[in-house]
Structure 1
Amino acid sequence: MKPDTVALNLMIIGLSQQGKIAEAFASFKEMQSDGMVRPSLESVTSLLHSCSYALDLRQGKEIYAHVVRTRKDFDDVVFQTTMIHLCMRCGDCSYARRVFDMYGKKSTDPTIWNALISGYGRNGENELALQLFNEMLELNVKPNSATFLSVLSICGHSGQVKKGCDIFEKMSSTYDINPTAEHFGCMVDLLARAGKLFEARDLARKLDNPPSS
């Protein structure tokens, strides 16, 4: 007896979570070959996660193309965000941006914006990351704590001290987000990299008793 839809989907999710990408992908291909069996969005998203950890962009793109071609719910934020993470981990910033511009840019969920911003930062595209952050604000997409963590780190690595300090101040004054120890750590790093050692030391002392998030 052939496995049913639920069993195959659970198999893909389980194998993906165990990092057995070859077996998970084989189950996915089996479902593709059977017109009566359809992979769930949860299972293909889990499979994309595995591709991300394995840095397997080729299989990830095949899965992504299949979902966009066959499902009406392909614009799901979690699915699209996972694809952006995969592309950025594999260094394909242009494909990640293409995915974002087609399906994520209209979203007010900061998660998908964060994926592209942090991905740009990891790939050394600091100016593109900061441009996207500005665009996010212009479109009234509210940044969250993770957004600020990525942007402050990017400011530190690109030597943009004033911008980083302004953003850090606006976290609480404009967006009502209390900085955590991680945010303070980014600021200490930013100041130290810029040679502002006394300011970095003074701010580091606040890490002993940071504001609660």
Structure 2
Amino acid sequence: QQVRKTAVKQSAPSRVPPATVKIRKKVNWLNREGYFGKQFVDEDALEMLGTLPEDRAMSVLENLEEKAEYGEIWNPNSYVVKAVIRHSQQLNAEPQWSPSSPARSGPPAALPVLKKVNWLNREGFFGEAEIDEDAVEMLGGLPIDRAMSILENIEGKAGAGEIWNPNSYIVKAVVRHSQNLKQASEPWPAKGGKKGGGAGAWAVAVKPQSGGKRGKGYGK
């Protein structure tokens, strides 16, 4: 089975640090070896891993590999999202806003957010896919207006056929909003430093799925 490389498109300024070379190599290897069948660790999950220290991100991938060997992994991206949320909670144990704050110890998603999610799922905006509990949990960590803005945007994109995996979209959006909120609440002196890695640094080995277009890199 051939493996092709897909570079992540440079989208709006993400401010999320890119995953290190070591993490990218591990992800490429797992995808190339077919640990997840037709599934693969996608660019969104890789972006989430980039928010963790390298040792924690590698720990997530080692655990993922072990569970996949025992046939315990159906969706590697969902596993990565949950693991990153858990590690982020531990790293941000002190009171500080972070995208992981919604998980269990934090506030649940507001009623308008839950209603919107239920409506989108019920109306079949994403085909057989649905917004899952992990994505709702992440939305719960955002102010209501920002969470609703994400859901309005995903509705519009799904209506235009641009969304294959709503949970991947929500993960990226919550990370982006969380970074913006952190910067607003913790004003730092302007530094010239990095503006994110180039698109070339984000190459991920992707197994093509039968069945045509995947759209914008979102795995089904």
Q: TM-score band (shorter)?
A: under 0.3
Q: Which of 1 and 2 has greater Rg?
A: 1
Q: Which has the higher contact order (CA 8 A, sep 6+)?
A: 2
Structure with higher helix content: 1
Please give the TM-score of this superposition, normalised by the length of structure 1.
Answer: 0.25
Please give the TM-score of this superposition, normalised by the length of structure 2.
Answer: 0.24
